[in-house]
Structure formats: C-alpha cells, structure tokens
Amino acid sequence: MESSTRISVAIRMRPILKEEADQGQTNSKVFIDSAEKAIVVSSTDQKQQKKFFFDSVFDEITSQDELFSNTQIPELLKKVVQGFNATIFAYGQTGSGKTYTMEGYEYSSLKPNIKESERQGIVPRSVKALFEEIKAMPNTMEYTVYCTYLQVYQEKIYDLLNPAQLKPGSPGLKMRWSKHDEFYVENLYVHPCYNATEVLTHFHAGLKNKIMASHNLNSASSRSHCILSLNIEGVDIEGGGIISSKLQLVDLAGSERASLTGNEGLALKESIEINKSLFTLRQVITTLAGSREGDSAFIPYRDSKLTSLLKQSIGGNSFCLMIACLCPCDQFYEENISTLAYATKASCISNDPVKNLDPKSKLVNELRKEIKGLQGELKEAFEQIGMLTELVNLDKTQILKMKDLEKPLLATAQGQRAKTTKNIDPIPGRIHSAMAVPRPIVPQQEPFSLSLEMLSENLHDSVKMIKELMSSNKKLKEIINELSNIKKGQDAEIAQLHAENQTLIEKLENVENEPVIVAKLQKEKQELQNRVAALERENKQAPVIFPIKERKTEWAWKSKRTIVRADSPGQFIDKDHYQKYQSVRPSTRVRVEKSAESARPPKSDMSPDNKVKEDALSALSVLYSKTRVRKYGTFF
C-alpha cells in the first residue's frame, strides 16, 4: 500500500477564439503566474486580487505534448503497470477545451476527424505510453489489456462500443455493486487488446457513437460524460503472482447556463441532467475536502451514475489527476471562479492507493514463503545430523587407532619393566612403583568414551528436535488448511450478503418507483369514475320504453275469456286474488314479457344501476297491465 496521496490538479487556459475576438471579448481578470504555479484572479472592480495555487498551470500557448509531459502522466502510467489504479479527468464549463485536451481531434458536422497530428490529446498519448511501459517490463511478466468505453447520458449508461444498444428508446445498462467496494456496469462490451493500435481503433469507433450537439458557446459540445477504461492484468510466469489495475480516462460534459447557450427543448433537458450530475460531483468533492481524517461523513456517491463510477477515483484507492480548463473571456468570470474553487477543494482530497494483488496469488506467496522457511530449517537440521554422524564415526575410528597404538606401547613398557626388575633391589615399594610405569596410558581412553556418550546424546537430541520440527510443520499445515476453509466459508457468506444487498437495492428502487405507479393508478381511477358519471348521465337522459300496446279486439277477447272462465263475478275477492289468478292463467302478454326477460342478461351480471333500471321497467309493466285490465274488464 502506498502512502496517502493528494489528488493532483493542473489548470489549463485556452486561447481566445476567433469568433470571440470578433465579438470584442478580452481577458482582463484571470492571469497565469507560471513561476509560482498560481492563477491570479482580479475582482470585478480591479481593486483586489486572489491567488489559487496548484500542482501545475498552463497558459494559452501550451502544446499538447508539453501538457502530457509536465503533468506527470508518464509516472502515473508506470504506477498502473505496477498494479495501481489511476484516473485522469477533465473538468470545466462548456467550451473550455476539455474534449480538445483529452482527445485533440477536430470536429466537423459533429463527427471527429481522426488523424495523426501534434493535436492528439491525453487519451491517445496515454494509450501509446502505456504499451511502451508494458514492453519495458521484465520478460517474466505477461500483460493483457482489456478496453471498455461508455457514456453517461441523462443518468443512463450506454455502451459506445455496442451500436445495437444505442438505439433510440434504449433503457441503458444497469449498474451494480461488487464485493470489491466499487460499482460496475453489467453487459458492457470488454475487448482484449494486445497493442496500442487496437485500443485506439475501439476508441475512435466509440467517438463516432457519442452524443454531440451545437449551441451558442460550442459548435461541437459533448452532451454526455465519456469514460474510457483500460483494465490491465499482469501474470508473473515464474512466481505465479497476478496483479490487476485500471486506467480511467474521463471527458466530462461541461456545466452550462441556458442564458448563454440558448438551449431549448431536448437540449435544455440535456443541460439540466448534465448540471445535475456535475452538482453531485461538486457535492462529493466538497464533502471529501471538508471531512477530517477519521470522520464518517456521508459521501453522496450514489446520487449520480457519474460519481458512482468514479467512487474509487475520488477519495478511494486510486491515483488521480484533475485537469481544470478555463475560458479566458471576461464574460465567463463567474464560471472560472467556480472552476478554480472546486479545483482547489479537489487538491485537498487524499486518496489511499493500493496495489491490486490477486487474493489467491497473495495466499500462495505467503504459503510459499512459509514452506521455504520450513525447508531451510529442515536443511539445517539435516546438516547438524550429518555433522554429528561424522563426528561419531570419526571418534570410533580414532578409538580403534588408539587401541592399535596401545598394543606396541604396552609391549615396550612390559619389556622395559622386565629389564628394570632385574637391576633393582627387591624392595616391595619400588617394585610397585616400577610396575605402575605403563599405567598412564590407560586414562587416555576415558575422554574418547565420554565424547562418544556425549555425541550419542547430541544425536538423540537432534533426532528429537527434527521430529518436533516435523510435528510443528504438520500442525502448521493443518492450521493453514483450517484457515483456508474458514476463508472459503467467509467468501461464500460475503457473496450471499452481497446478493441479499443487491436484492434489497432492487426492492428499494421499486419502492422509489411506487409513487409513479400510484399516480398512474389514481389517474386510471379518475378516468373510470368520469366514465361511470358519463354513463349515469346518459341513462338518466334515455327515454322510458313502455310495452307495445296491443289491439283492443285481442284484449276484449282476453277479457271476455277471463270472464267466461270465472265461475261468478264474485269469484275475485280482492286485488291480490285477481293478480294471483292472472299469474296462473295463460296470456299472450305474459309470454311477451317472459321473452323480454329471457333476452335480458342475468341479474347476477347486472351492475347496481342496471338492476335499478330493470326493477323500474318491471314496475311500469305491471302498472300498465293493471290499467289495461281495468279498462277492458272491471272485476273489483
């Protein structure tokens, strides 16, 4: 892990354009002090001056090559090849030269003119320099570069290398959260590239697909934030280690004022979305710059797709270079002050770059170091055993040699003893002293026997130590296996937690979309209520249809028939009795009513309004029949 490092900030001021000079635009408020690496800004009344200090500043005549060399971009690319992440992004208002700084191409009819020239910007120069750094690495390292290119347009992510996904009405790609504490884009085309030409081919193809527009301040204005990402993977052939890193080259859309750009309709909506995402970026920069070490302030990365994708670049584990672009004209004084203020805040943000090593390769390297140490200890133990064995064998041979030397010495001593006994008096004391002459040779055997015992003990201790080392080695291996199993279980648990977290995020997104659904349902409910009210008004205005009036002769015949069937005029006691009789006697009119009822829909299928209307028609029909009975046959 590298020590904490600040975000590097460079300021570049473009020259006054021909159109601006024709309009009489001048620069009398913003000046560059190259010696102090500062931007001097005069107040509107020219009485006060303010200085902004940065890592590097560049005036109007700075070339693309000078900008690339003097912003320490080559050093950043070396860090990328070594396994660190790096980000370079251009920031500023619309028309300040961000796209020219990053790309360097001329645009005609909103399309870039791709050609090799000194105008080439940071992106093509960085790609070429990156592959030069890869070539300079040792032959034991093998590198693969993967290229992606996307744009963030109206808070939707589009793949610039997938034309089929750029169709009108496309919902864009989804952004997910990974276990590596960063956001990534799903279903994004990833192209392996083996040289700078392949990367630039994809880059140029993506440039032709990005969204451009023209307005009062810029004839070819980027309407989206574009991010070219180069993912580098390096494999150590001999050691087996794996490193990975990412280089992000970002061309941000510029902040805009509708009063200056003259945007309307869709262009105005685009400006609103651009300003919204840049506002979130400024919030992130302000919060990070104002938070002290150890503070747990909330950083609103998730409020915008742009800041989510740049999470590790700003306040994360990446090296970062910000190039702030200024417009020299006095009419852009406020925009320049805002750009300088946020560039100053960005220079106060600290990142913690981390070398990206593959976790498995890191574990393998640790185990290899441990095995190497154990092998060294085992080798030392075997060397001690061999040395002790040699000493034991040497002592045995020396003892045998000494025994062989003792024999002639003993024989010589015995001969001398015999000669001496002949020449001396037989005095017992002298005889005993003379007999003791050869005895000093015998004690010389004791050190060898003692050293043999000591060597045997040392050998036994060494064998015991080796057994203990082997036992401890076995225990260490068991501990390593146990830790590996625990790590696997933790990884599985982490993956499950990430899946649950993703599910909760999706549910949260659905909950956020519920107000829209509720509003839609309420609108449909209101439309249905309006339709019901309209139908009720139509039903009230509809005329009441009475039964068709039958001919008088038929009713006379029916009345006569009814009277003839009756036993006597007094048979019908009252009105109810008559209606009961009418319900059982056959009648043409009853059959007509039944046929009409059979044509009606079942009551269970009727709405309450239709049921009321049906009951009203039935009551009118009964009343009409009673009137006809009274008219043609009076029974009560």
* Residues of each annotated binding site for ATP: 92-99
Secondary structure E strands in 110-169: 111-113, 141-153, 156-159
Alpha carbon distance 447, 227 (integer Å): 84
Q: What are 83's two structure tokens?
A: 């396994």
From the CB of residue 395, how many other CB atoms can be counted at a distance below 10 Å?
18
Phi and psi at residue 141, in whole multiples of 5°? -105, 130
Residues 6+ apart with CB under 8 A from 192: 144, 145, 146, 147
Strand 38-42 and strand 30-33: the pairing is antiparallel
Q: Are 91 and 339 in contact (CB under 8 A)?
A: yes
Q: What is the Cα–Cα distance from 202 to 88, expressed in whole angstroms? A: 19
List helix spans (H) across 167-247. Answer: 196-207
Q: Which residues are annotated as a binding site?
A: 92-99
Take residue 175 and report the two structure tokens written for it: 């952004």
Three-state secondary structure call for residue 7: coil
Encoded tokens for 367:
């185990």
Number of H helices, E strands in the chain: 17, 20
Q: What is the DSSP string of 581-599?
A: HHHHS--HHHHHHHHHHHH
Q: Are 80 and 318 in contact (CB under 8 A)?
A: no
CB 99 within 8 A of CB 251: yes
| SS3 assignment for 33-69 | ECCCCEEEEECCCCCCEEEEECCEEECCCCCHHHHHH
Asked if 225 and 61 count as a contact pair (C-beta separation under 8 A), the reply is no
- Quick check: 84 and 2 in contact, CB under 8 A? yes
Q: Which residues contact 498 (CB under 8 A, 6 or more apart)?
A: 177, 178, 179
CB 56 within 8 A of CB 62: no
Taking Cα atoms as reference points, which of 230, 276, 222 lies closest to residue 90? Answer: 222
Dist CA 127 CA 617 (whole Å): 87
Is residue 208 within 8 A of residue 160, CB to CB? The reply is no
**DSSP characters over 426-458:** --HHHHHHHHTTTGGGGGGHHHHHHHHHHHHHH
Task: Give residues with Cβ within 8 angstroms of 445, minimum separation 6.
Answer: 399, 402
Query: Could you tell me the two tokens for 565?
Result: 């069937």
Element (H, E) at 86: strand 85-91
How far, in Å, CA of 601 to CA of 615, rounded?
Answer: 13
